[in-house]
Amino acid sequence: MNKIIRPVKNRVQAIAPARLSLLNSGATATTNLKECLAVDFAILLRATLPEIDESVIRVIEQQTTMGISKRMLMMGHLLLERLGPTRIKHLQSHPADTVRGWACFMIGAIDEMTLPNRLAAIRPFADDRHFGVREWAWMAVRQHLAYDLETAIDLLSGWTTESSERLRRFASEAIRPRGVWCSHILRLKRHPEIALPLLEKLRADPAKYVQDSVGNWLNDASKDRPDWIRMLCDRWMFESLAPSTQRICKRALRSINRKG
């Protein structure tokens, strides 16, 4: 992600000044990725958390060319240090999606926290109404999931039966072997079968939002274990005639089929 993101000053030109001012004030949420990338963290922080001292603002202003994911990570650590974990609940209801994203990374930055408690804390953000917050949610805790993969898979398997498709999608997206704008999970690249107990529960999910994630998960795995993915998709399509399963497998096999 950091290679494709341009400095802030080059990203804001396409946003109308009045709209950008509104976003930077924290009064409203972004509506697309372009707006997400255009938000000025320093201005937004002054507007939404005026108690933060200027030394923190200066640090943020010096990092405007840093990729967005790294800046979000930095914000999580800075705000956790200055505000403490008790403020996360307050930020959770903020109208600005970027501020709620900062709260996600505050949860990720907490050192002493069990994985069940961390997932419980990130859950409202994983089910957030805003597409961007939902992405920040899994990115913020991904390193902790990767560190204790078996526990993570066991806990997230319980999310696969949630009524919210956003939570079911989080279960898959958070532990994709390669993922987008994040570090790879080496164990899952080498041994994708570790996640099979979770993936099996989603193989006929009715929501396209979830289907896309599962298909992308398997497509990630196909880069390193193509034969395993072929066998899995063959079995799934034999055992299930559901259109959802067929759609997932088509998406899963796209890189393999592209190579011929």
**Alpha carbon of residue 110 to chain centroid:** 17
| Domain annotation for the chain: domains and CATH numbers | 149-260 (1.25.40.290)
pLDDT confidence of residue 39: 96
The Cα–Cα gap between 169 and 127 comes to: 10
pLDDT score recorded for residue 9: 45
pLDDT tens sequence across 5-19: 344 444 445 799 999
Predicted TM-score (pTM) of the model is 0.92
Query: How far apart (Å, rounded) are the C-alpha atoms in residues 178 and 1?
Result: 12
Tell me how far apart the alpha carbons of residues 260 and 254 are, in angstroms, rounded to a whole number: 10
Q: Tell me how far CA of residue 214 lies from CA of 9, 22, 183, 248, 253, in angstroms.
A: 36, 36, 18, 7, 12
The predicted pLDDT at position 251 comes to: 98
Residue 169: CB atoms within 10 Å: 27
CA separation for the pair 197, 191 (Å, rounded): 13
What are the Cα distances from residue 89, in Å, to 19, 63, 84, 160? 27, 27, 11, 25
Q: Where are the alpha helices (DSSP H) in 84-239?
A: 88-92, 97-109, 115-126, 131-147, 149-157, 165-173, 186-190, 196-200, 208-222, 226-239
pLDDT at 65: 86
Q: Within the chain, which residues score under 70 in pLDDT?
A: 1-13, 260
234: left (phi over 0), alpha (psi -120 to 50) or beta: alpha
Smallest CA-to-CA distance from 135 within 66, 184, 72 is with 72
pLDDT of residue 14: 78
Q: Which pLDDT belongs to residue 58?
A: 94
Q: Which backbone phi and psi does 26 adopt, to 5 degrees?
A: 80, 10
pLDDT score, position 260: 67
